[in-house]
């Protein structure tokens, strides 16, 4: 379990390279150069399927509008679904019998956190007769009624926020809760212990290996410190108010520590894996125990993933519902193999079969 002490970042100005200077003040840094790099491919990647070529590449992943001629790596991996792969049918609110203990243990987290990360900002719900919900509209059914859910969300960022973190870190969980509450989409760069790619990248960007580390490509702001990140995000993309359960100092940290008890150590250590060229896409939210077990494996395999947050009250529930005719999370879309699937147990097996070495 992580400790509960949180040390403020000492103000420093540090020159990282001739092209890039990062200013740190109380954990906040602003990227002031247009230098960029491929977001998830390590320059030292020894992977055998990576060939080196010189070509004109548009820079991506971090704030930059420049196009540079540079030597870059192009990946030509053959990622394919496991043999005989068949996507399972969705079974809402049901854990596969051999995974019931895992899901029960993962359910302790939202209990200890009083459901923070289960509902989006300004959530309200009422039971209405079925006839009041137009057909083709997502709504949960309870005892012959439909649940009408609404929310009040702030302004939306154009590009997803980027967060470097790992599942079993209580400070990272605080930040994952706030992005669920604010209904923000995030590219997560997992940083498990001994992970070869994104831990070094954070040290390169911010000067030290400390997590979470957030990059907002919309503003160029980068920062360490969970509390600072939370304040920044609610100010920019919320109503400016930090939710109570994230503003109670030691109590918040302790309950975040307790939230890890059921799944102690999961989602913290690196499992050697093959890094795909494209981030995976996971429809998910922090309060769901079914999503938690999938996130643990994404982190262990160090797989970058765009997380589409859709806690209760999120308008994105309707988007998934229209897209696949059903709403349930976790829902994985893997652009590297073309696989799209529901069901946490099978997603975990798929990820291990496809990416673990």
Contact residues for ligand GSH (CB under 6 A)? 91-95, 140, 288, 290, 327-330, 343-345
Q: Is the peptide bond before 212 cis (omega within 30 degrees of 0)?
A: yes
**Burial group, residue 18, by CB count within 10 angstroms (0-12, 13-18, 19+):** exposed
Given a contact cutoff of 8 angstroms between Cβ atoms, the answer to whether 190 and 162 are in contact is no
Q: CB of residue 284 vs ligand GSH: minimum separation in angstroms?
A: 9
Q: CB of residue 283 vs ligand GSH: minimum separation in angstroms?
A: 9
The residue (of 49 and 123) whose beta carbon lies closer to ligand GSH is 123
Q: Is the peptide bond before 240 cis (omega within 30 degrees of 0)?
A: no
The residue (of 175 and 329) whose beta carbon lies closer to ligand GSH is 329
The residue (of 183 and 343) whose beta carbon lies closer to ligand GSH is 343
Q: CB of residue 180 vs ligand GSH: minimum separation in angstroms?
A: 12
Which one-letter DSSP state was computed for residue 319?
Answer: H
The residue (of 211 and 283) whose beta carbon lies closer to ligand GSH is 283
Q: Which of 299, 344, 341 is nearest to 82 (CA)?
A: 341
Q: CB of residue 192 vs ligand GSH: minimum separation in angstroms?
A: 22
Q: CB of residue 90 vs ligand GSH: minimum separation in angstroms?
A: 7
Buried-exposed string 230-255: b where 16+ CB fall within 10 A, e elsewhere? bbbbbebbbeeebbebbeeeeebbeb
Give helix 344-355 / helix 289-300 axis angle, nearest 10°.
10
Residue 191 CA to residue 61 CA, distance in Å, equals 17
Which one-letter DSSP state was computed for residue 312?
Answer: B
One-letter-per-residue 3-state SS of 237-305: HCCCCCCHHHCCCHHHHHHHHHHCHHHCCCCCECCCECCCCCCEEEEECCCCHHHHHHHHHHHHCCCCE
Q: Which residue has the tokens 């990227």?
A: 31
Q: CB of residue 109 vs ligand GSH: minimum separation in angstroms?
A: 12
The residue (of 7 and 93) whose beta carbon lies closer to ligand GSH is 93
Q: CB of residue 267 vs ligand GSH: minimum separation in angstroms?
A: 17
The residue (of 104 and 203) whose beta carbon lies closer to ligand GSH is 104
The residue (of 26 and 91) whose beta carbon lies closer to ligand GSH is 91
């Amino acid at each position: 379990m992580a400790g509960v002490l949180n040390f403020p970042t000492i103000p420093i100005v540090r020159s990282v390279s001739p092209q890039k200077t990062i200013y740190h003040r109380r954990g906040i840094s602003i990227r002031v150069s247009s230098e960029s790099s491929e977001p998830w491919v390590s320059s030292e990647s020894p992977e055998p399927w990576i060939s080196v070529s010189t070509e004109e590449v548009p820079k991506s992943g971090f704030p930059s509008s420049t196009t540079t001629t540079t030597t870059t790596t192009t990946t030509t991996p053959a990622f394919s679904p496991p043999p005989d792969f068949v996507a399972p049918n969705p079974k809402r609110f049901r854990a596969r019998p051999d995974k019931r203990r895992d899901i029960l243990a993962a359910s302790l987290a939202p209990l200890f956190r009083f459901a923070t990360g289960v509902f989006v900002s300004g959530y309200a719900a009422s039971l209405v007769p079925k006839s009041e919900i137009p057909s083709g509209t997502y709504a949960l059914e309870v005892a012959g009624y439909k649940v009408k859910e609404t929310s009040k969300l702030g302004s939306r960022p154009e590009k997803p926020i980027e967060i470097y973190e790992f599942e079993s870190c209580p400070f990272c969980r605080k930040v994952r809760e706030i992005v669920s509450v604010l209904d923000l989409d995030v590219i997560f760069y997992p940083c498990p212990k001994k992970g070869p790619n994104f831990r070094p990248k954070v040290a390169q960007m911010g000067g030290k290996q400390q997590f979470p580390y957030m990059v907002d490509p919309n503003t160029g702001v980068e920062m360490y410190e969970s509390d600072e990140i939370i304040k920044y995000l609610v100010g920019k993309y919320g109503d400016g108010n930090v939710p109570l359960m994230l503003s109670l100092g030691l109590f918040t940290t302790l309950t975040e520590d307790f939230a890890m008890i059921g799944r102690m150590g999961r989602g913290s250590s690196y499992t050697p894996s093959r890094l795909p060229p494209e981030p995976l896409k996971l429809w998910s939210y922090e309060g769901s125990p079914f999503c938690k077990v999938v996130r643990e494996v994404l982190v262990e395999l160090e797989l970058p993933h765009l997380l589409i947050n859709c806690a209760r009250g999120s308008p994105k529930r309707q988007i998934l519902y229209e897209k696949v005719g059903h709403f349930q999370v976790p829902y994985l879309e893997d652009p590297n193999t073309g696989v799209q699937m529901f069901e946490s147990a099978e997603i975990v097996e798929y990820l291990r079969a496809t990416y673990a070495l």
